[in-house]
Structure 1
Amino acid sequence: MLSRDGNPTPLGLAIVHFGRLHKTLHVLSYIDDESYRRGIKGQTSLQESRHALGRYVFHGKRGELRQRYIEGMEDQLGELGPVLDCITLWNSVYMDGALDQLRTEGYLVRGESIVYLSPFARKHINVQGHYSFLLPDRPDTRPGPSCCR
């Protein structure tokens, strides 16, 4: 038992004090160690980038729940994660392809530059629902009967 009648037991008090020790060591490490601070900042920036992508995608930059019933809200929020995963995968695959193309064309692609790329890019995503499916005029080179072109 960790508490009895609203008061912590000796075991509960020990766990509380142990947690305070861990928190104190963390704060002291954060103050003293610059590399530790940089690592935490990097992780925080990465997570904030994912949240920014979620805000951008979620209802076309508005970030509002529009359903009047709770089940619909849960559906909307439940689908946001897989959509963000798909966007991240798409961006990762195409950034990797772009890097490969740059390498094959003879450009110097440095590893220290690649670490600044993010799969959470979002400017190229159309979230407003305005799409154009017009193809440029070009000769049809597909095989098959002319009636099916």
Structure 2
Amino acid sequence: MHASIQLELGLAVQLGTLSWLGFVPDDVASVPPTAVARLAEQLRLHPGALQGYGRRDHTRTDHLKLVVKYLGWKTTAPGSQALKELTQFLLDRAMEHDSPTLLFNLAREYLMSAHVVRPGPTVLAKMVGEARTGATALTTEPLGHLLTEEVRADLERLLIVDVGLGMTRLEWLRQGAREATASAVKTSIDKLLWLRAIDAHTVDLSALPNERRRFLATVARRSTNQALDRREERKYPILLAFVAQAAIDQLDEVVALFDQARVRA
């Protein structure tokens, strides 16, 4: 089949694929036959012309450059502004989320909306990992001076089962009052006093962005003791953010319970 027809169809497939998927597969000929057939019909070309396209690497690469330029897209070439922006985007999102899958999907959506050609999945997965590592460093370093041996010991106590409570302090603090009974008021005050005894109300986390503080506190509320323990050093900023937020929430709960009890009286 004439080479020019093959090149024309291959170029058209790349044009449609980039607009639709946000990237072009290395093996352009692997595009679903139905899609190729429909495109070939519109161009009045034989769909079989695509077979063998891209055997010469520079053909696919040269065509991709043309497609990117024609569509006005950008690439994440080393040193490019698009790469720097993607790196910063991932770091910002990693400060709010910890799931690699979620971060990968957020990056994919961002690249599509920004009209940036998505790098290969291996490259993007590596960037996600680097962003998560960077977010951990940006969390640990500003809080290093707060995590003294005494504070670490207090945070460790959160994960140890208290015989009197029959549960860990973390579980105890996560349980909110359901009604303004005398027992509930007493328990709420006990929690507030315990948090104040470890100076949770004086913890200054202003060095962290608000989103990161909320994220860390949410991780503590949703994780099991075992999951937190497995994080080793990374658990301390998480627990610190939790007790700092718990000190605020617990005071609000005590005030709310007293208000409810007063109204009932």
TM-score by length of 1: 0.28
TM-score by length of 2: 0.18
Q: Which has the larger radius of gyration?
A: 2
Give the structure with the higher percent helix: 2
